[in-house]
Amino acid sequence: MKLESLDLKYDKLFNNLKKKSFLSMSALGGEIPFYIVPYNPKQENEIIQKTKQLKDRLGRDGISIYEINLFDLSLSMLEERGILNKVIEKEKDLSKSKLFKTLQGVLDSETKLIPQIEILAKENLSDMLFLTGIGQVFPFIRSHTILNNLQNYIKDRPTIMFFPGTYTTDLSLFDTLKDDNYYRAFNLNTLNL
């Protein structure tokens, strides 16, 4: 994936996200309002900045955004369970598989993470939801698992996942790791609204 002009990319995003047809989800024809913004993982730091600027810019136009950073949410869930510091202390001594199993138990997408996202989304009403921090939670949390499970809970507003990699009909995290196919989300880089 080549480096993109992020100014152009985010101007296009801003213009699409503020459209009434996008916000009202009227042009979806019954499809789930899930969107993916794929980007070159080498531009991660700039994407974080541009996404914050996009939220601010949309906010000035009266459009509210609620952002869920999956990495921050994961840390908060580990902290709530009282095991964050223990995991950090023991990380260097644990095998990768043991660490993975430990985190999977606490951060299981279906039983723990998705219900938490649903609670946060209901408590924080907004015009749209941003999902960020996708690359930071790999391999403990998989993007297609989040999307597959979340589609049963959040249908009341557009949900946009900022994805470090490519998305056609499958998700390719970091342009190297093929995730499962996910056909129900629209690619905001190629979608003409």
pLDDT tens digits, one per residue of 118-173: 999 999 999 999 999 998 987 778 887 888 888 888 889 999 999 998 887 666 66
For residue 124, the model assigns a pLDDT of 96
The residue-averaged pLDDT of 46-71 equals 97
Residue 114 CB partners (closer than 8 Å, separation 6+): 146, 149, 150, 153
Q: Where are the beta strands (DSSP E) in the chain?
A: 34-39, 65-69, 128-132, 159-167, 170-173, 177-181, 186-187
The answer to whether residue 4 sits within a structural domain is no
Name the E strands within 7-158: 34-39, 65-69, 128-132
Cβ proximity of 141 and 74 under 8 Å: yes
Q: How does 73-108 read in b/e, with b if 16+ C-beta sit within 10 Å?
A: bbbebbeeeebbeebeeeeeeeeeeebeebbeebbe
In this structure, is residue 19 part of a structural domain? no
Task: Give 36's strand partners.
Answer: 161, 187
Q: Is the residue at 94 inside a domain?
A: yes
What are the tokens at 48? 């974080």
pTM: 0.90
108: tokens are 């299981």
DSSP bridge pairs for 9: none
List of residues 6+ apart from 157 with CB closer than 8 A = 25, 33, 126, 127, 128, 129
Residues of the chain with pLDDT > 90: what percent?
A: 51
Instruction: Confirm whether 98 is domain-assigned.
Output: yes
Residue 145 counted as domain residue: yes
What is the domain extent for residue 183?
A: 32-187
pLDDT at 186: 86
**Domains of the chain: total:** 1
Q: Does some domain include residue 13? A: no
Q: Which residue has the tokens 């709530």?
A: 80
User: What pLDDT does residue 77 have?
Assistant: 93
Residue pair 17/63 in contact (Cβ under 8 Å)? The answer is yes
| Average pLDDT rounded to a whole number, residues 84-89 | 87
Does pLDDT of 177 surpass 60?
no
Please give the residue that has the higher pLDDT: either 61 or 139: 61
- Is residue 6 in a domain? no
Q: Which residues pair with 178 in a beta bridge?
A: 172
